[in-house]
């Protein structure tokens, strides 16, 4: 793309279309900021056929002749309009939908794009495995972290671009469809049902989700925060046991992290086994294997719930800061154990430290590189960083810091620098050496 015109927010010497994030150089786009996605989807389960109309509302940040959205090649685009005009030209190559409006739009102008598309959605291959829309034995799921959102809708696929969403899903009536946000309408006509969800809090594209399956939905006892379960009928008894302590978990986390940042929380249990649980905004998705009747996955239940604060409400602006998601969620596992009759965080920290000593010391927690961003060492070393900070400044200051962190940056993007700067206000001693040792150096510090 070429920068045109005199008015521009692109800094001198900086290419107008250099990657937003070196970790995902082919995802995320400059030139506009999305404020709203309105997705109208029709999905046929047995043929895995998805047809969609995406209405995207954005504001331009500089003057340019064309704009780009991320959209996988499995989706074929039939029509594009810009600001109500269908005269916009478009090309769709290499997972990029490039749109040329009939007239240039000034910086700060409205960019309202409507895209009609259809295809057989499939996961996007990445160095971290397949991500995005996947078929189940009965139904489908979405697991988009970090770059799978483009597998099912056109978007600016980067976590720094958070927007509100309205998601409408029309699918075969025997199936239950769930998406992020509040269910605002449900209408059955002939053999199909249309479900409409409204997600008002800003959300990163990788956290947007659609889950379709033969689920029953019911409210479970959740105390102050409404909690819902969606699962096949035959998993009800095991769910009630395995997730039975989740309301208490929510109460503990609200005490430690501050108020839950959304209106409710749902857990989906698929009929299929899943390798790992899936994080989505206001929702977590587990496989049938995580519902074993023995609470064998309770640490993962805690991990995914904690992501509602650390990852969903507070979302990294750059993937290099992924420890702010995974290190915090891993430490939440230890905190739940400590507050539910299990081993305390000290015990977990010593065990994790022993494990890490036996592994290569070649990772930089504060900037691990794309290949290692989901390495288990990020999770454990991130949790150990927080535990060391807790030991350094004391429990009262540490949990005051966490609560301030979640309130100050609620529904925003965050960085490591913002966290370390905030932490300085809760310590009566310099923390620079702590951050260097844990976030910058590769050698594992002693506990």
Tell me the per-residue pLDDT of 289-337, one tens digit each, with 9 for 90 and over: 999 999 999 999 999 999 999 999 999 999 999 999 999 999 999 999 9
What is the average pLDDT across 78-102? 93
Residue 16 pLDDT grade (very low, low, confident, very high; cuts 50, 70, 90): low
Higher pLDDT, 249 or 7: 249
**What is d(CA 5, CA 347) in angstroms, rounded to the nearest whole number?**
60
Structural domain of residue 394, as residue ranges? 316-440
Residue 165 and residue 116 in one domain:
yes
Name the E strands within 122-205. Answer: 124-126, 129-136, 139-143, 162-172, 176-179, 182-189, 192-204
The residue written with tokens 């994790």 in the block is 352
Residue 195 and residue 249 in one domain:
no
Angstrom CA distances, 84 to 37, 76, 81, 135, stand at: 16, 21, 6, 34
Core vs surface per residue 420-447: b (16+ CB within 10 A) or e? beebeebbeeebeebbebbbeeeebeee
3-state secondary structure 242-255: HCCCHHHHHHHHHH
Residue 88 pLDDT grade (very low, low, confident, very high; cuts 50, 70, 90): confident
Residue 351 catalytic?
A: no
Q: Please tell me whether 176 is known to bind a ligand.
A: no
What is the average pLDDT across 145-167? 97
Q: What is the pLDDT of residue 5?
A: 31
Q: At what angle do helices 323-338 and 416-423 cross, to 10 degrees?
A: 50
Q: What residues have CB less than 8 Å from 341, skipping those under 6 apart? A: none
Q: Please tell me whether 353 is known to bind a ligand.
A: no
- Does residue 13 register a pLDDT over 50? no
Please classify residue 176 by burial: count the beta carbons closer than 10 Å to its beta carbon, then call 0-12 exposed, 13-18 middle and 19+ buried: buried
Among 201, 178, 142, residue whose Cα is nearest residue 266: 178
- Specify whether the CB–CB gap between 360 and 412 falls below 8 A: no
Angstrom CA distances, 152 to 40, 132, 155, 300, 394, stand at: 11, 7, 9, 27, 46
- Specify whether the CB–CB gap between 88 and 26 falls below 8 A: no
Residue 303 and residue 324 in one domain:
no
Residue 430 and residue 322 in one domain:
yes
Residue 42: helix, strand or coil by DSSP? strand
Residue 72 and residue 125 in one domain:
yes
What CATH number is associated with residue 351? 1.10.390.10
Q: Which of 197, 304, 331, 333 is catalytic?
A: 304
Boundary-marking domain end, from 308, 334, 354:
308
CA atoms within 13 A on the CB side of 342: 13
**What is d(CA 314, CA 397) in angstroms, rounded to the nearest whole number?**
20
Q: Is residue 447 part of a domain?
A: no
Q: Is residue 229 part of a domain?
A: yes
What CATH number is associated with residue 40? 2.60.40.1730
pTM strictly above 0.85: yes
- Does residue 141 register a pLDDT over 50? yes
Boundary-marking domain end, from 205, 236, 253:
205
Residue 379 catalytic?
A: yes
**What is d(CA 322, CA 368) in angstroms, rounded to the nearest whole number?**
9
Number of domains making up the chain: 3
Residue 73 and residue 8 in one domain:
yes
Residue 436 and residue 411 in one domain:
yes
Residue 220 and residue 73 in one domain:
no
Residue 195 and residue 257 in one domain:
no
């Amino acid at each position: 793309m070429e920068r045109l015109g005199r008015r521009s927010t692109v800094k001198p010497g900086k290419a107008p279309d250099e990657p937003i994030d070196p970790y995902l150089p082919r995802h995320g786009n400059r030139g506009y900021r999305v404020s709203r996605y309105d997705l109208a989807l029709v999905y046929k389960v047995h043929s895995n056929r998805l047809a969609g109309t995406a209405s995207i509302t954005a504001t331009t940040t500089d003057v340019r002749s064309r704009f780009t959205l991320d959209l996988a090649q499995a989706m074929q685009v039939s029509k594009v309009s810009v600001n109500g005009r269908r005269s916009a030209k478009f090309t769709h190559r290499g997972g990029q939908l490039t749109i040329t409006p009939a007239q240039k739009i000034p910086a700060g102008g409205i960019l309202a794009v409507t895209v009609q598309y259809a295809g057989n959605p499939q996961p996007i291959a990445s160095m971290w495995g397949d991500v995005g829309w996947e078929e189940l034995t009965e139904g489908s799921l979405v697991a988009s972290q970090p770059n799978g959102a483009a597998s099912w809708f056109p978007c600016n696929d980067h976590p720094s671009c958070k927007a509100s969403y309205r998601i409408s899903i029309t699918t075969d009536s025997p199936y239950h469809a769930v998406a992020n946000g509040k269910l605002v309408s449900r209408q059955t006509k002939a053999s199909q049902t249309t479900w409409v969800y409204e997600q008002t809090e800003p959300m990163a594209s990788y956290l947007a989700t659609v889950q379709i399956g033969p689920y029953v939905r019911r409210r479970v006892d959740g105390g102050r925060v409404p909690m819902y379960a969606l699962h096949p009928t035959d998993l009800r008894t095991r769910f009630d046991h395995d997730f039975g302590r989740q309301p208490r978990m929510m109460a503990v986390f609200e005490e430690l992290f501050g108020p839950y940042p959304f209106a409710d929380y749902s857990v989906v249990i698929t009929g299929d086994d899943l390798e790992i649980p899936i994080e989505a905004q206001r929702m977590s998705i587990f496989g049938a294997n995580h519902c074993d009747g023995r609470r064998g996955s309770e640490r993962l239940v805690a991990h995914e719930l904690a992501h509602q604060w650390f990852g969903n409400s507070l979302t990294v602006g750059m993937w290099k800061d992924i420890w702010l998601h995974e290190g915090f969620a891993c430490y939440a596992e230890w905190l739940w154990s400590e507050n539910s009759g299990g081993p305390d965080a000290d015990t977990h920290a010593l065990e994790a430290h022993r494990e890490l000593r036996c592994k290569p010391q070649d990772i930089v927690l504060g900037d691990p590189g794309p290949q290692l961003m989901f390495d288990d060492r990020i999770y454990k070393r991130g949790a150990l960083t927080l535990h060391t900070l807790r030991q350094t400044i004391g429990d009262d200051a540490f949990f005051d810091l966490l609560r301030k962190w979640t309130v100050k940056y609620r529904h925003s993007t965050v960085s490591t620098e913002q966290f370390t700067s905030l932490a300085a206000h809760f310590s009566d001693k310099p923390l620079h050496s702590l951050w260097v040792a844990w976030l910058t150096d590769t050698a594992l510090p002693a506990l």
